[in-house]
Structure 1
Amino acid sequence: MAATFTVAARLPLRGPARAPSRPAVAAVTRLRSRQERRGLAATGGRGPARVRAETFSGGGGVGRRDPMAPPYNVLITGSTKGIGYALARKFLEAGDNVIICSRSAQKVESVVGDLKEEYGEQHGTVCDVRNGKDVKALVEFARDKLKHIDIWINNAGSNAYTYKPLVETSDEALMEIITTNTLGLMICCREAINMMRNQPRGGHIFNLDGAGSDGRPTPRFAAYGATKRSVVHLTKSLQAELQMNEVNNVMVHNLSPGMVTTDLLMSGATTKQAKIFINILAEPPDVVADYLVPNVREIPTKQSMKPTYIRFLTGLKAYSRIFSRLAFGARRNKYVTED
């Protein structure tokens, strides 16, 4: 998108008045344009600069954002179970519109039917995030049903339901984990950005991280931890790319649910250490969603375009729970019976 600014270039003159050279005018114009763009981004789209949203072949440019106001249109990948499903329900409770998607047509049909009974007409489609054509089709489905997407949450992920040392992990499991968690995330981010930068309201993308994202080791699921560690780096890189390409109407954020008692996590509760940490640190999907969704919705409500890292399980909360367990035996056998 190209940006048009009304800028008056004024240069201090010494001696006889002379018209400034064209290169000098261009330099000052570029400088002031950059300053105004930074001011525009910092104020959430408000300011004296006038911005015209247009597309151009280079793929960059500034987008003028119409103010965002609820209800929001939300798309959540992997939203037929676990934390994705809990997030979808919480957004619906807030009055928003949600696109449900999953690899399984049966699960999509079942979830859409259940949600329809409680919240009215719903929209869902099959999408394998590892397939670029599928994700492009997901974008077209979203445009057809809701016209635009305000909030895109990249939740789809996989551990191939395996908790083994890397040396015992099959090629098939490694490909499942890496293509879903890394390739799929990249494809979804690419298509979400391409969609949102051409929307009058712009949009916000939230990438869910997980175990390993903080750099700590993840024995028995090293591949999964490695892919989740890469989520933070990818998000930061995309934030820099958007700024570099002068796209001010789209922002990418990190969303950290912490340890959630999903099938994926509970299937790994096979050791004493795993059971202890699940009991101490984990929470059910609905509890996590109750915290995350209001914080996600607050960002467009405030017209903020600053990168945000929303964490459910903060370091302080984790250490407090560990201390309570060591000192008072808190949360013993809360979710699984410890040996």
Structure 2
Amino acid sequence: MATVAATLPFRAPTYLGPATFLTPSAAGARFPDRPQQRRLVAGGRHRELARIQAEAISGGGGVARRDPMVPPYNVLITGSTKGIGYALAKKFLMAGDNVIICSRSAERVESATNDLKKEFGEQHVWGTVCDVREGKDVKALVDYARGKLQYIDIWINNAGSNAYSYKPLVETSDEALMEVITTNTLGLMICCREAINMMWNQPRGGHIFNIDGAGSDGRPTPRFAAYGATKRSVVHLTKSLQAELQMNEVNNVVVHNLSPGMVTTDLLMSGATTKQAKFFINILAEPPDVVADYLVPNVRAIPTNQSMKPTYIRFLTGLKAYSRIFSRLAFGARRNKYVVED
């Protein structure tokens, strides 16, 4: 079952789209013959403006209609040509959904897309190049998604980087720090911004899932401090976006946290160079397909149940982690499961 970390009660749906905030002079130019509209926009009273819009569209009730979200779902996953992103894509496709994958590498996008099309058909999977650190790229990704599928139900922000660097911060290069921070923090913010802008204009609305990682629980991450700091910020960003959406009475878009735990990807395994790292990887890590088998049904259950409450879905719960550590210490379980320990 998905773990619900926070639930924010949403008000009646009265917000149909992004509010436009103009200066008084600009508002006067835009609405020269409509003083009431001019005052609303110039004053930034987006809730009242949204109410007027809702009444006009819904027929006077003041409540915008939201179409029910039913499968198959349209899914977009960033950083999805390998690792957990690719495993999630396959699992959604196995469930009958339509999937858009992307990454920075045109070669990996082409290879992954071709492989998935061979298995699941030409009409269910698409791929495109996108650098999440670039706003223009993410905007182009949204346009691509609209062109192929018209709308996205589930957007998963999986793209992340540790610059394949496991060393103390004092030994980390400027280039590696910029790679980690711009991908994991700036890229996530840009993707959330564009996903929200896309979804709140969709009749079905949408769900955004931000994937966290080591450090998101506040525990130290020696040898990859920058990565841990960025993943800690994922939780805060998600909570802030949940509060912003509630504040603006946006009831058709929800932002969630998704925690895959330790996954035996290239990123994780490249750091299996110390006794402690090998110990915890063998005990706690799982292959991408095993993690995806758990996460995808829990993600799909949210729109299936018509839920519009923020959730925190965790694969590796605290209870599971402690029970595995106990089994290892008491019975030697999972020793050398993935890497040979010293």
Task: Give the TM-score of the pair, scaled to structure 1.
Answer: 0.84
Partner of 1:96: 97
SS at match of 2:255: strand
Q: Which amino acid aligns with 2:184?
A: N
Residues 1:212 and 2:215 are matched in the alignment: yes
The alignment status of 1:264 with 2:227, answered yes or no, reads: no
Q: CA RMSD in A?
A: 1.6
Name the structure 2 match of 1:105: 106
Provide the C-alpha distance between the structure 1 equivalents of 2:155 and 2:15, rounded to a whole number of angstroms.
24
Shift of 1:64: 3.2
The aligned counterpart of 1:335 is 338
Partner of 2:283: 280
Residue of structure 1 aligned with 2:20, choices 57, 62, 86: 57
Partner of 1:117: 118
Assess, with a 3 A threshold, how the Cα gap between structure 1 residues 281 and 63 changes in structure 2: closer, same or farther.
farther
Deviation at 1:53, TM superposition (A): 3.6
Q: Secondary structure at the match of 1:148?
A: coil
Answer whether contact 1:53 1:64 (CA < 8 A) is retained: no
Gapped runs of 5+ residues in structure 2? Answer: 1-7, 22-45, 51-62
* Unpaired stretches in structure 1, ≥5 consecutive residues: 1-37, 43-48
The residue type paired with residue 91 of structure 1 is: F
Q: Deviations over 1:5-43 (max 9, x none)?
A: xxxxxxxxxxxxxxxxxxxxxxxxxxxxxxxxx98x48x
Give SS of 1:70's match.
coil
Q: Which position in structure 2 is the counterpart of 1:191? A: 194
Task: Note the alpha carbon deviations across 1:74-106, whole angstroms, 9 max, x for none.
Answer: 000000000000000000000000001000000
Normalising by the residue count of structure 2, what TM-score does the alignment of the two structures yield?
Answer: 0.84
Question: Which residue identity is paired with 2:322?
Answer: Y
Aligned to 1:31: none
Please list every run of at least 4 consecutive aligned residues from structure 1 whose deviation after the TM superposition is greater than 6 angstroms. none
Identity %: 85
Q: In structure 2, what is the equivalent of residue 83 of structure 1?
A: 84
Where do residues 34-45 of structure 1 align in structure 2 (5 Å cutoff)?
Answer: 41=10
Q: CA deviation at 1:271?
A: 0.4
- 1:232 aligned onto 2:195: no
Partner of 1:296: 299
Tell me if structure 1 keeps the 8 A contact 2:254–2:310: yes
- CA 133–326 in structure 1, closer or farther in 2 if over 3 Å, else same: same
Aligned equivalents of 1:222, 1:64: Cα separation in 2:
45
Q: Which has the larger radius of gyration?
A: 1
Pairing 1:325–2:328 present: yes
C-alpha displacement at 1:65, in angstroms?
Answer: 1.6
SS in 1 for 2:319: helix
For 1:245 and 1:90, how far apart are their aligned partners in 2?
34
Distance across 1 between alignment mates of 2:108 and 2:181: 23
- Code of the aligned partner of 1:160: A
CA distance in 2, matches of 1:95, 1:136: 27
- In the TM superposition, residue 51 of structure 1 has moved relative to its aligned partner by 5.3
Determine the C-alpha separation between the residues in 1 that align with 2:242 and 2:15: 21
Work out the CA distance in 2 between the residues paired with 1:162 and 1:147. Answer: 39
Partner of 2:69: 68
CA distance in 2, matches of 1:77, 1:177: 16
Kept in 2: contact 1:63–1:248 (CA 8 A): no
* 2:179 paired with 1:152: no
Deviation readout 1:185-215 (Å, 9 max, x if unpaired): 0000000000000000000000000000000
- Aligned residue for 1:261, secondary structure, equals coil
Matched residue of 1:205: which SS? strand
**Closer, same or farther: CA 269–65 of 1 in aligned 2, 3 Å:** same
Deviations for 1:241-265, whole angstroms, at most 9, x for unmatched residues? 0001111000000000000000000
Aligned match of 1:200: 203
Q: Say how many residue pairs are matched.
A: 295
Higher RCO structure, 1 or 2 (CA under 8 Å, sep 6+) = 2
Contact 1:63–1:202 (Cα < 8 Å) also in 2: no
Residue number in structure 1 paired with 2:146: 143
Deviation at 1:57, TM superposition (A): 1.6
